Structure 1
């Protein structure tokens, strides 16, 4: 295959042929990796004629790391004069005498009220994104099925309309609460049937008896539009497929169900309309309870309130990719090149957005992601914020070391994010750890996206840890994160023993 055509086409679409490795040495990306990533963008690269035709239709130049013409993202005026502090945690880790073996939205509200009394201005959470409800063991919040929706396992069952204590009779709730770790399969096994029973009460009686709630659900479903309906349909199909042994993810389903616009999916939606409505209702319950938690934090005096998290990608066989295949770069997953900690590189196993689709939709997919993820939040952390500019994609079956950076239309994305930030009055925080491209943090500062600084990493060469005054003013500083040692573990050195 002609070298020049592949190289030229990859360059036009922002697929980097060479980058600087962690050791300062240049790394050359295999040409086959770039060809496969071009195919993942939806381009025909099968032969010379197809390559020539694709090149003729390609953009004139690759995206550049440019500043946005839009005003900076929203940051509350009083934060500059009075910095805020808060607590970050995983919602699933909260324990209470009333939850069902996993922290829930009621626990979140209670903790927020307690923290507010101590002067805290926010509660930060790892992603609350929707997982595969039919496969509760797939529980990583950073590998969700869909970032636009919420995890129904966080619904506080005893706060659902129509709940009565008899539904919890004979359930092993004390054992689930006492377990050292969250037993996701067992929690799902007790929560899902009770939620289904509450749905039947809602459908058969409560919706008519409480018209204001029925109207609220109808508005939520209408506002959720096509994205919500597709997610609810996916969850209904996923539950049925898991029962038959085909699996919760769509890669294992019969071919006829791979297309959400196909006849088989439409027929399933008609025949199982009640199941689809049930999953849309679960999203309404979760959204409503999260909204109430945010209101309680504001009433308790928190200036920021909820500080939520947007993961870097979604499971390739999940709801988001199934429902909008065109928005994703297919046939590849996101990861990181080799570094001091992982000499072979990392494959995170998640799908990323397609830069070509973002150009075609004028950055709408990013704006929608932020809008959904930041609902009810005062601040939103963007995991691996370098994804605004580039992602490291690994073709299916390839080694992480053979992946390539793919560039995004950052200037337009930043304009859309700034508009969304001001509309929702949400502060954006970018997790800018790892290999940060030269000049990227300057773009973040001008865009009003706060930096993310972890105490452990803030060391001055040969002089110990940096003083607080040396941190950037536009930053969220923290002691640790969800995937680093606790402060106690670090202080005692037990993290060294574990490693």
Structure 2
């Protein structure tokens, strides 16, 4: 090993070892150190830009950790809410994708059941010019919203016609969101509304409101709109919709070529800023509705851990991101070669710098609408596993982030917006992070199937009060699917688990089902006397599902999130991690429409169990 290189790597926060699949540690190669140093803007001789001169401090030294906001009523009460993927909602009026008006109806319905929040997938802006890049966890820009969620018929000036209604009806009837046709249909109508003398600026004073929105959005909003127009034009010319494949003169927003393009396409750029304004107005209406119906938390929004490497955010602020490495995870028993999530990460020396820090702007973009936010992969507050471009995932290393500064930013924004913070603290965590988060009043994220000890599932009273408990998430099967072993079958079908490991997983699941039965009985949740077999039908599983939700409701956790897909008994998973192109991730719709929810016995029984254990 090169001692000079080791010192340099440590100076800039690069770990000298990484985990191995057998829970050991292996050294990082000199080649990886050099690649990551270059990605951080550091030359082999140690020379660096001024912004990268100092390794970020992981932990506060001697200073108390700042506290994030926790509503006073949560000091003594425990509440619950419903979590869902907005796009998965069906309704008799939407255009083939759940939208902000569906969200308003969902808020009203959830409040009528006693829920205090509605949890959502990330609402970040996607690639409008490439709608099938639809993962909410690989967005184009986390500071912007996704215009595909606009309820078009709620925009002033809208008028339907038989041809449009026929197209929309076809989109409503699909089992999967057809992002390409949804985008084409919505954007065509929105563009017509925009072109019709801007009559769709929603009435008296709206023109001034839009101008103020544009002014407040500043250069961040303008650059995003320029990117959207460039992305569409470049895609049409065969250069791709992501900036990394564009001609060099268009790969940075400050060039003469981009300035000339922006001048030529000024009207279209303004259209994309208008789309963001519509998103803002419609989401604000949802926030207002939550307050009107008495929800004490309102919206609970999810924040992705990073952005697409070739999207709006990395194009708009190149210096704020690491350009030659992507976010991933080290090898583990389930992924022995590691994982590359193909996400761009903020530069650790820039992420918290200045009064207009990138991290502050990113969390503010969500907190302005939310009563709670969930930070995906909260370990990123201290470190990220970065994979050099062109390298295998296992050829990566951890890089430190300024936890002290990031927690300070979180606390400041949280108090300003009175927004609760939840940290997704699953998987391999750096030592002491959970304790620091607890001190900062960041809620832990507890999933039933993960909450196990050597002798079985943890009892309900073992859950920490400062936490959110749930049964399943977008990365899991529903509880019924888990009981049937659908996750094991899916991993086998998609080549994630080798055939020779399948039986081991089946046996493990059998023991887990038995352990869950014991936990439910000990908690006094009245599980069915004879638990259904793994092949049991929906009716036989219903009582088990309700009992498991009652168990979660009994936990000490401040919050419980009930997944809508569990309430409606979905069989199609939202996402199968590890698949790419073999499963329609982020596209399955619910099998029932919002208008039918009040007639679903299982949904109403789960809600009743929640209300009995956590009365509003």
| TM value normalised by structure 1 | 0.94
What CA deviation, in whole Å up to 9, does each residue of 1:128-183 have, x standing for no partner? 11000000010000000001111100000111121112386354112111111111
- Residues 57, 336 of structure 1: alpha-carbon distance in 2 compared, 3 angstrom cutoff: closer
What CA deviation, in whole Å up to 9, does each residue of 1:382-422 have, x standing for no partner? 00001110000000011111100000111111111100000
- Residues 206, 312 of structure 1: alpha-carbon distance in 2 compared, 3 angstrom cutoff: closer
Distance 2:353 2:303 in 1: 23
Q: Tell me what 1:246 maps to.
A: 239
2:470 pairs, out of 478, 484, 487, with 478
CA contact (8 A) 2:65 2:436 kept: no
Q: Tell me what 2:32 maps to.
A: 33
* Aligned residues: CA RMSD: 1.9
Q: Tell me what 1:48 maps to.
A: none
Shift of 1:221: 0.9
SS class of match (1:357) = coil
Distance 2:54 2:365 in 1: 33
Please identify, of 70-79 and 53-62, the stretch whose mean Cα deviation from structure 2 is larger. Answer: 53-62
What CA deviation, in whole Å up to 9, does each residue of 1:38-82 have, x standing for no partner? 11112233xxxxx15449997566523337645300010101211
CA contact (8 A) 1:11 1:62 kept: no
Please identify, of 386-395 and 250-259, the stretch whose mean Cα deviation from structure 2 is larger. Answer: 250-259
SS class of match (2:127) = coil
Distance 2:350 2:257 in 1: 26
Shift of 1:26: 1.4
Distance 2:140 2:127 in 1: 6
Quick check: 1:467 aligned with 2:467?
no
Taking the TM superposition and a 5 Å limit, the aligned residue runs for 1:166-205 are 166=161, 169=164, 171-203=166-198, 205=199
SS class of match (1:192) = helix
CA contact (8 A) 1:122 1:303 kept: yes
Shift of 1:84: 1.4
1:287 pairs, out of 280, 285, 295, with 280
2:479 pairs, out of 455, 477, 487, with 487
CA contact (8 A) 2:383 2:399 kept: yes
What CA deviation, in whole Å up to 9, does each residue of 1:271-307 have, x standing for no partner? 1000100000000001110110111111111111100
Distance 1:359 1:222 in 2: 24
Distance 1:91 1:52 in 2: 47
Please identify, of 391-400 and 194-203, the stretch whose mean Cα deviation from structure 2 is larger. Answer: 194-203
- Residues 264, 466 of structure 1: alpha-carbon distance in 2 compared, 3 angstrom cutoff: same
SS class of match (1:401) = coil
Please identify, of 318-327 and 363-372, the stretch whose mean Cα deviation from structure 2 is larger. Answer: 363-372
CA contact (8 A) 1:129 1:148 kept: yes
What CA deviation, in whole Å up to 9, does each residue of 1:188-241 have, x standing for no partner? 1211101101111252x455x934111111111111111100000100111111
CA contact (8 A) 1:145 1:315 kept: yes
Taking the TM superposition and a 5 Å limit, the aligned residue runs for 1:207-286 are 207=201, 210-286=203-279
CA contact (8 A) 2:96 2:182 kept: yes
| TM value normalised by structure 2 | 0.77
Please identify, of 7-16 and 309-318, the stretch whose mean Cα deviation from structure 2 is larger. Answer: 7-16
CA contact (8 A) 1:69 1:415 kept: no
Quick check: 1:65 aligned with 2:42?
no
Q: Tell me what 1:10 maps to.
A: 9
Distance 2:247 2:54 in 1: 41
Count, aligned residues: 490
CA contact (8 A) 2:225 2:269 kept: yes
Please identify, of 129-138 and 36-45, the stretch whose mean Cα deviation from structure 2 is larger. Answer: 36-45
Distance 1:278 1:354 in 2: 31
CA contact (8 A) 1:363 1:412 kept: no
1:351 pairs, out of 341, 344, 351, with 344
What CA deviation, in whole Å up to 9, does each residue of 1:465-491 have, x standing for no partner? 111110111001111110111112112
Structure 1's unaligned 5+ residue stretches are: 46-50
2:151 pairs, out of 150, 156, 160, with 156
Taking the TM superposition and a 5 Å limit, the aligned residue runs for 1:362-377 are 364-377=357-370
- Residues 202, 29 of structure 1: alpha-carbon distance in 2 compared, 3 angstrom cutoff: farther
CA contact (8 A) 1:363 1:416 kept: no
1:318 pairs, out of 296, 311, 318, with 311
SS class of match (1:402) = coil
Shift of 1:36: 1.2
Distance 1:32 1:248 in 2: 32
Please identify, of 167-176 and 4-13, the stretch whose mean Cα deviation from structure 2 is larger. Answer: 167-176
- Residues 223, 61 of structure 1: alpha-carbon distance in 2 compared, 3 angstrom cutoff: closer
Taking the TM superposition and a 5 Å limit, the aligned residue runs for 1:92-171 are 92-166=87-161, 169=164, 171=166
Distance 1:189 1:56 in 2: 45
Quick check: 1:416 aligned with 2:415?
no
